Structure 1
Amino acid sequence: MSTDTPVDWTGLAPQLVDAAQQDRAWYLRIARELVAPGDRLAVDVGCGAAGMALAIARMMTCGRVVAVDAHPAVLDAARDYIHAEWSDPRVRVEPLRANIPAEITDLRDTLGAPADLVWASAAVHHVGDQQAAVTALAGLLAPGGRLALAEGGLPEHHLPWDVGLGEPGLENRLHAAQDRWFARMRAELPDSRRMPYGWTEALRRAGLSPVTTRTALDEQPPPLADTARRAVLEALAARVGRLRPTGLLTAADLDVWDRLLDPADEEWLGHREDLFRLSARSVHLGVRP
């Protein structure tokens, strides 16, 4: 969420639209569980392409959903996606630029009312002081309002353990490198502080109760549809590209990835019928008393 993070949000914006389309069914399933009949104001913080904002809107009978992000390129992608996907005048879906938690007071004033539901997916971990961000988001809620954090779970897997090139366990080593990159990214954030406890405890420390967690399996078995296959290849290429200059992947593994991600190579992953998507996503929910 901070504009100082080393993540290239401008370059990632087109991928966020693809992700919103790929995750549509998951968003709808979670939104169906989160939205209450009387909800009139919901906020999607770190909205990406607004996939979840639209899913929440589809579960509401009237009111508005505010899709919040700090990055202009991301908000442009969200605005375009909302324009293409939404036309129901009973529920307004509005993009809004704001930085969390620095501009939380302004956001509260801009909303004009306390929120019934605040959703933040993979957003809070981009803030240096995560507990301060959770507490600030909890402050947006009306009594009985819910704060839902989609953080944690298990990383997405796509490949068999042995792909036939290099040492087996290639994707496991990619996840390990990603963990080390993530630790570096967090250490470099402004006002970075460790949060040596879980997201449910962060919600409790923000004054919310009760607090619960739901973890859902997200699975697309092989063979993948062409759109899903393309999304997997793009996601792997983006991750390898981000890690390439860090020194966190060995030269041998990079050589293998170069072959697997090269459409001109006979080992290109796009030729394989055994690609899949498998992950577990956790949503932590706290209620304002």
Structure 2
Amino acid sequence: MTATNPTITLNNGVQMPALGLGIFQSSLAETVDAVTTALRTGYRLIDTAAAYGNEKEVGEAVRASGLERAEVFVTTKLWLDDYGYDSALRAFDTSLAKLGLDYLDLYLLHWPIPAAFEQTLASYRAAEKLLADGLVRAIGVCNHNPDHLQRLIDQADVVPAVNQVELHPYFTQQAVRDADASHGVATQSWAPLGGVNVYWNGGRNAAKNPLTHPVITEIAARHGKTPAQVILRWHLEHGLAPIPKSVRAHRIAENFDVFDFRLTGEEIAAIDAINSGMRGGPDPDRH
């Protein structure tokens, strides 16, 4: 098996790397080094957001990488404070300027606002304009449950290319994945290693850490891989697009070293069975 990062063909034909680097909670100083290390390692997708406050540093690292712009898939996200048609367009301009890029590969709405759906729809219509104007190559959403997604698709002109959601062995989101697939939407996994259970809400779910689950540690030992590598392989085997976050060079490299082995059907099923149905991060219906 060759050690190359596969791509996922989005519903508009754009090719998105299946594995990327997430930089949520990365400090400004750490971000440049993390992105630089990731790009040198072979990552070609970098995921940031306006709310992360590190778009400028992401852009700096991408521009200094020596890679052609077309080789790096850059994602950022619209934050709730900027929802609305005109404000979303202004926020996009701000993000693009901070990144120092001419276009974005993927622009996402960070959360739905179920109680004020018209704001979500207006923001998405702004994203549709950006797509039509060639300023973004693909648009999508984050944290959309099936009902949120259906409601948006019913009124939008462009079906989202991506739905980025919390997804890990303790929270497998099968209903969301099924809904996404039925609409041709790619599912991207944030907190793919389950770290949200450790750092969110005072670590209330810290005991549910997939990295220490015996099923996963046993499979890792069997393959001579780490638990994190097994979990990322599990995502890839399911056709998901994980974006693990790390600022440590050895972890960034470890997380990318997942293309030289496969899990068996029995191993995948065993990891599937870990699912508790319990969300670790914020609830999209209450955000």
If the length of structure 2 is used for normalisation, what is the TM-score?
Answer: 0.34
More strand by share: 1
If the length of structure 1 is used for normalisation, what is the TM-score?
Answer: 0.34
Which has the greater radius of gyration? 1
